[in-house]
């Protein structure tokens, strides 16, 4: 029992120092976090800073904390996730020309080398050539000019502009958190197409504005041409802002899932060539808008702004990417489509049986004739439902999320300083550089429920009375 009290004190005291600092201490805390510890999260909602020393799946992991006399051991079946320190991260990964999505939720960036009726061969930044079964692949998206991840984080406040009320947004354990108004923004080297993806968690009727392609990153003014997404539980609306012109509303979309959940992943994709905007939620397309007046965004900035005081909003797992070219994401549907679908760069669509890739040309069998379609003309491929396998995860699998984007679920055998070793039914034996991994989710079937608890537990760190009460409860136990 004394050991449990000791762990409880570490967990609470480790958070108090961040929660109650002033403006100067908050900035310093953000910089320190960017170069310091990782975070271990348990299924009961507990969090502990430190460093991962090693792990053997099914046995235990060893964790180092500066307040502990030696390594602390945890059973892996009680671990929810680990977020790794970015201090040694491999961020400068080579540009990829394809995104491969799988039925089990995996996503890998790389290049397509081979495709036939049974298998695909992919060359990825992981090193070895991967050869997944075709029936496991959901879709392929092509980026002729390459796909580049400009930002993955947050890892601190450095480089971000917090506008006229800098105290309203804070950095806390890998997330931007606010309980009031104010903005936080940054400029990036955006190209023809841009995507912004982030996890958002909340605990009240919040209002969040996301400004995209703006030149002003210190506030949400209307003097800069941009697009603004107004997000609230249950709905989103999109505005077109053109400097010197009137404001136009492009449309709205319903988000009913947000009325029953307190955490989702949102994505915004903008394409200058066809003046389109697409909103996704948890990987599925919600709605796509076309700006009939032409693309309005003229800047390189992205801004998050909170509209209401009181409700807490937490932005984490933020990724900003850019590429040349476009694609037409499919609307989420329950309709079973057996044919393979190929979207072309001129917005045509071909349905049929995709037989193989020969050299630089896809061979497509349609009800009317056989087609040879050059690879550079293809923007996306969706494989028919007759090819798919069960997307359920296997017991004992973990999911690794990478700094350069994408994720893989696999059976983790061992984690050491130099390598992470495991295996996957889709890819066979796997070995990663630990520095390429941003976070790892364990016990995936219990992960969603635990994630919801974690946000509200983290919210306690901003209430001194609750923290003090928790501290004494732990000591009394």
Tell me the per-residue pLDDT of 265-315, one tens digit each, with 9 for 90 and over.
999 999 888 899 999 998 888 999 999 999 988 889 999 999 877 789 999
Q: What's the CATH number where 212 sits? A: 2.60.120.560
| 182 shares a domain with 84 | no
Tokens of 438: 């941003």
CA gap 212, 283 in Å, rounded: 19
Cβ neighbours for 215, distance < 8 A, ≥ 6 positions apart: 224, 225, 226, 298, 299, 300, 301
The answer to whether position 121 is within a domain reads: no
Residue 19: strand, helix, or coil: helix
Q: Are residues 166 and 248 in the same domain?
A: yes
Q: What is the pLDDT of residues 338-381, one digit of tens each?
A: 889 998 888 888 999 999 999 889 999 998 889 999 998 998 89
Indicate the residue among 323, 351, 382 that finishes a domain: 323
Range with lowest mean pLDDT among 6-10, 342-346, 445-449? 6-10
Domain end (from 288, 303, 323): 323
Residue 215 lies in a domain: yes
Position 455 in a domain: yes
pLDDT for 390 beyond 80: no
Query: Do the domain assignments include residue 74?
Result: yes
CA distances from residue 216 to 37, 161, 162, 213, 221 in whole angstroms, order as listed: 33, 10, 12, 9, 8
Task: In whole angstroms, give the CA distance from residue 194 to residue 418.
Answer: 34
Among residues 426, 419, 359, 364, the alpha carbon closest in space to that of 389 is found at 426
Are residues 270 and 276 in contact, defined by beta-carbon separation less than 8 angstroms?
A: yes
Residue at a domain's end among 323, 354, 370: 323
Distances (CA, A) of 19 to 15, 26, 276, 279: 6, 8, 40, 33
Q: Are residues 196 and 313 in the same domain?
A: yes
- Asked whether residue 200 is domain-assigned, the answer is yes
Q: What is the largest CA-CA distance in the chain?
A: 77
pLDDT classification of 186: cutoffs 50, 70, 90: very high
Checking if the pLDDT of 174 tops 70, the result is yes
Domain count, the chain: 2
Read off the pLDDT of residues 21-61 as tens digits, 9 standing for 90 and up.
Answer: 333 333 333 343 434 478 899 998 888 989 999 888 778 88
Instruction: Kindly state whether residues 428 and 301 are assigned to the same domain.
Output: no
Clarify whether residues 295 and 401 are in a common domain. no
State what percent of residues in the chain have pLDDT above 90: 33
Q: Residue 465: pLDDT above 50?
A: no
Same domain? For 263 and 155 the reply is yes
Residues 172 and 262 in one domain: yes
213 shares its domain with 300: yes
Instruction: Report the pLDDT value the prediction gives residue 430, as an integer from 0 to 100.
Output: 87
Three-state DSSP at 11 gives helix
Domain that holds residue 270: 148-323
Find out whether 79 and 62 touch, Cβ atoms under 8 Å.
Answer: no
Chain mean pLDDT for the chain: 79
Within this chain, do residues 85 and 152 fall inside the same structural domain, yes or no?
Answer: no
Please give the torsion angle defined by the CA atoms of residues 285, 290, 294 and 298, in that order, rounded to the nearest 10 degrees.
-30
- Whether 156 and 37 share a structural domain: no
Structure tokens at 350: 């071909």
Residue 433 included in any domain: yes
State residue 90's pLDDT score: 53
Is residue 108 included in any domain, yes or no? Answer: no
Q: Is residue 409 part of a domain?
A: yes
Beta strand 276-281 pairing with 208-214: unpaired
266 and 411, same domain (yes or no): no
Same domain? 74 vs 188 = no
d(CA 344, CA 348): 5
Q: Give the span between the Cα atoms of 370 and 471, in whole angstroms.
A: 70
């Amino acid at each position: 029992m004394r050991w449990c009290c000791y762990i409880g004190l570490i967990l609470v005291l480790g958070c108090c120092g961040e929660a109650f600092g002033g403006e100067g201490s908050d900035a310093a805390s953000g910089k320190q976090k960017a170069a310091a510890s990782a975070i271990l999260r348990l299924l009961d909602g507990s969090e502990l800073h430190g460093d991962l020393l090693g792990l053997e799946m099914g046995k235990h992991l060893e964790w180092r904390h500066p307040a502990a006399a030696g390594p602390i051991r945890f059973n892996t079946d009680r671990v929810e996730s680990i977020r790794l320190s970015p201090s040694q991260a491999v961020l400068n990964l080579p540009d990829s020309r394809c995104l491969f999505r799988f039925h089990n939720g995996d996503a890998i960036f790389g290049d397509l080398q081979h495709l036939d009726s049974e298998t695909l061969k992919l060359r990825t930044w992981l090193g070895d050539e991967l050869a997944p079964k075709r029936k496991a692949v959901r879709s392929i998206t092509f980026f002729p000019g390459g796909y580049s991840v400009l930002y993955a984080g947050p890892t601190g406040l450095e480089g971000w502009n917090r506008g006229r009320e800098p105290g309203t947004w804070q950095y806390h354990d890998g997330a931007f958190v606010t309980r009031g108004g104010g903005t936080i923004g940054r400029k990036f080297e955006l190209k023809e197409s841009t995507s912004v993806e982030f996890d958002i968690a909340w605990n009240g009727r919040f209002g969040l504005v996301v400004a995209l392609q703006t030149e002003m990153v210190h506030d949400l003014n209307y003097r800069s041409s941009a697009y603004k997404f107004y997000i609230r539980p249950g709905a989103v609306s999109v505005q077109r802002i053109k400097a010197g012109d009137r404001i136009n509303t492009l449309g709205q979309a319903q988000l009913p899932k947000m009325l029953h959940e307190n955490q989702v992943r949102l994505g915004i994709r903008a394409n200058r060539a066809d003046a389109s905007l697409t909103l996704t939620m948890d990987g599925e397309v919600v709605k796509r808008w076309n700006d009939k007046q032409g693309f309005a965004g003229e800047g390189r900035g992205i801004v998050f702004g909170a509209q209401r005081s009181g409700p807490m909003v937490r932005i984490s797992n933020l990724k900003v990417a850019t590429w040349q070219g476009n694609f037409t994401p499919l609307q989420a549907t329950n309709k079973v489509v057996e044919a393979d679908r190929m979207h072309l760069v001129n917005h045509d669509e071909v349905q049929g049986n995709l037989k193989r890739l020969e050299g630089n040309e896809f061979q497509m069998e349609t009800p009317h004739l056989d087609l040879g379609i050059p690879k550079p003309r293809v923007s996306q491929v969706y494989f028919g439902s007759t090819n798919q396998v069960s997307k359920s995860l296997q017991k004992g699998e973990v999911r690794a999320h990478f700094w350069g984007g994408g994720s893989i679920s696999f059976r983790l055998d061992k984690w050491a300083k130099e390598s992470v070793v495991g295996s996957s039914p889709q890819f066979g034996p796997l070995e990663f550089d630990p520095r390429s991994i941003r976070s790892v989710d364990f016990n995936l079937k219990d992960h969603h429920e635990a994630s919801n608890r974690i946000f509200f537990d983290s919210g306690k760190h901003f209430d001194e009375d609750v923290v003090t009460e928790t501290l004494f409860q732990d000591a009394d136990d």
